[in-house]
Amino acid sequence: HSSSILSPSLFAKENLNRMSEQQLNLYDRLINEPSNDWDIYYWATEAKPTPAEFENDVMAMLREFAKNKKREQRLRQPDLEYLFEPPR
C-alpha cells in the first residue's frame, strides 16, 4: 500500500479485534474496491473528500488513525539500526 503513515496492516493490527462484523465488511470493501490505493490515502488524510459509498464509521476510524500516525511520526526519530551492518 501507498503510505507508511497509513499502513493498512498497522491499522488492522490496532483495530480489527475491536470492530463489529459490519465494520469488518466495510473495511474489506474499503481496502479491496477502490482501484487506487492512493485514493484511500487521500480520503484518510482528508486531502480529498471521501465518496459517499465509502463514508462510514470505518473511514472515520481510518482518518483518526492517520492523524495519530502523523503525530507519532513527527515525535519519533527514525530507527537508524538498519543502516549499519552488524559487526562480524
To which residue does cell 471521501 refer? 50
- The pLDDT score that the predictor gives to residue 81 is 57
pLDDT (tens digit, 9 = 90+) per residue, 1-13? 444 556 667 888 8
Task: Write the pLDDT tens digit of every residue in 16-66.
Answer: 899 999 999 999 998 889 888 889 999 999 999 999 999 999 999 999 998
pLDDT score, position 14: 86
Q: How far apart are alpha carbons 5 and 43 in whole angstroms?
A: 13
Distance (Å) of CA 2 to CA 5, 7, 8, 39: 9, 8, 9, 10
Which 8-state DSSP code applies to residue 16? Answer: G
Domain limits, the chain:
8-75
- How confident is the model at residue 34, as a pLDDT? 85
Q: Which of 28-32, 53-57, 70-74, 80-84 has the highest mean pLDDT?
A: 53-57
